[in-house]
Every structure is written in structure tokens, then in C-alpha cells.
A = this chain, B = another copy of it.
């Protein structure tokens, strides 16, 4: 049991620290991209166009949370992937599934620029080229981890993994525990974890009964015992490396 906690120290940050840790990344990006990118604000549930390669568009997330959704024929909606500030999004990164779209899950701000411009800018700036490669590699690792989560974990473990991810990304440490303003609806969570909404409801009920979770109105969630939550998923340590503040610096 101690092995899990070694690397999975509960390190959600307060808003001030969040702003602080985003600073260096934003400064680096601003230098070259700011002049050529178009700032775009998206409201909740707004879809952003995902064009195909000839006129491909690149998005860079500045704030908020976005996701890729798909609508397989005759099946439920899927939430394939989540994007956080700093992430790079382009059409060719996404499989050509029916109903694929990029959707803002919260009020978000992104930079938009043509793929050709993006590539030209990176080619002209070695430092930023390497940085973009590392960023895309990190996103790839997250996509692979998600496949692993959905493929091998049961419902409870999947949900615990998502809570750990959101806690590390969006959590605020408070006196009673970690508070998360979860930007995903029940349906979103179910679609992301490849679970039925009914099954997810049972899982949340179980978590509440076990004291792992307390819910307020409007998606506000309190996690009283972070360590106990981390112990509920075998991948807490791995999530820590990909979602903890230090990993994105």
C-alpha cells in the first residue's frame, strides 16, 4: 500500500499556484505564435471546426477543457480524449470516426492557426519545435494510458482514475479535502470511461457510501480522503506522472 503513495502524493494546487505554474509555458508560446494565431473563445458545448488536411487547422489550448467526441453508428456517444491548456490539437491526430468533433467542455480559450503556418513557425524556431514535439509526445502517452484504463480496469477503478486525473489537474486543496469543480456531466464521464450512465450512477453511489466522494450542486465535488482515492486505482502513480503540475511545467 505504501508503494502507491510513494509517487502519488496528493498534490492538487490552489488557483494561485495553478496560474503560477502555467506562466512559463505561456510565455514561451507567446513569443512566436501570438502574432500568427487567432484567439478564439468558445462557450460551453461549442464545437470547433476540424477540417481535413488540405486546409487543416491547428488549435492550441490556452484555458479551459476540450474534448473529442464521436458518434459510432448505432452506439452511444464516445468522449475519446480530453485536452488541457497547452495541448495541441489538429485533425490528423484524431481517427476518422463518424460524428467526430472537437467540443469545448467548459468556457475555453484557444489559439487557432492554419497547419501550414504552424509548421512554418516551428521550422523557424528550433526551441519551440522541440517543445511542441515533447508536448505531442505527452499527449500520446495520455491517449495510450486511456486505452489501458478502459481496456483493463473495472468500473470503479476507471472512475477513481478519472477523479485522480481531475484532482491533479483542476483540484483545489481545502480544509475538508480536495475540491474539484468537475466540468463534465454524468453523460460525459460515462462516455469517456466507456461505461453506461446507469452503471456510473451505481459507482458514484458506492463511492459516496464508502466516503470517497461528496457532491454539491452544479458539479462541485469534494474528495475527503485523497490517499484512499489513489488506493482505489492501480494507476495512481502513472496518472501522477502525466497530470501532476510538475509534469506539465
Interface, chain A (partner B; CB < 8 A):
68, 70, 72-76, 78, 80-81, 90, 92-97, 119-120, 122-124, 126, 129-130, 132-134, 136-148, 150-152, 194, 234-235, 237-238, 241-242
Q: How far is the CA of A145 from the CA of B94 in the complex (A)?
A: 8
A-B contact pairs, 26 of them (CB 8 A): A68-B144, A72-B148, A72-B234, A73-B234, A76-B152, A78-B152, A80-B144, A80-B148, A92-B138, A92-B141, A93-B140, A94-B144, A95-B141, A96-B238, A96-B241, A97-B145, A97-B238, A123-B130, A133-B136, A136-B140, A140-B140, A140-B143, A147-B151, A150-B150, A151-B194, A152-B194
Partner of A129, one of B122, B141, B148, B237: B122
Contacts A81-B147, A96-B241, A140-B140 known; list 4 others, CB within 8 Å: A74-B234, A76-B152, A119-B133, A136-B136
A139: B residues at CB distance < 8 A: 140
A119: B residues at CB distance < 8 A: 126, 129-130, 133
This chain's copy number in the assembly: 2
A144: B residues at CB distance < 8 A: 68, 80-81, 93-95, 143
Contact A72:B152 (CB < 8 A) given known A96-B242, A126-B123, A136-B133 = yes
Q: Max chain B CB contacts within 10 Å: which of A81, A96, A142?
A: A96
Main SS class of interface, A: helix
B143 and A75 contacting across the interface, CB-CB below 8 Å:
no
A95 and B194 contacting across the interface, CB-CB below 8 Å:
no
B137 and A90 contacting across the interface, CB-CB below 8 Å:
yes
A129 and B136 contacting across the interface, CB-CB below 8 Å:
no
B93 and A137 contacting across the interface, CB-CB below 8 Å:
yes
A194: B residues at CB distance < 8 A: 151-152
A72: B residues at CB distance < 8 A: 148, 152, 234-235
Considering the complex, give the chain B residue whose CB is closest to the CB of A149: B147
Q: How far is the CA of A110 from the CA of B70 in the complex (A)?
A: 35
A73: B residues at CB distance < 8 A: 234
A235: B residues at CB distance < 8 A: 72, 97
Contact A78:B137 (CB < 8 A) given known A142-B95, A235-B97 = no
Question: What are the nearest 4 A-B pairs in CB distance?
Answer: A123-B126, A151-B194, A147-B147, A95-B145
Q: How far is the CA of A238 from the CA of B96 in the complex (A)?
A: 5
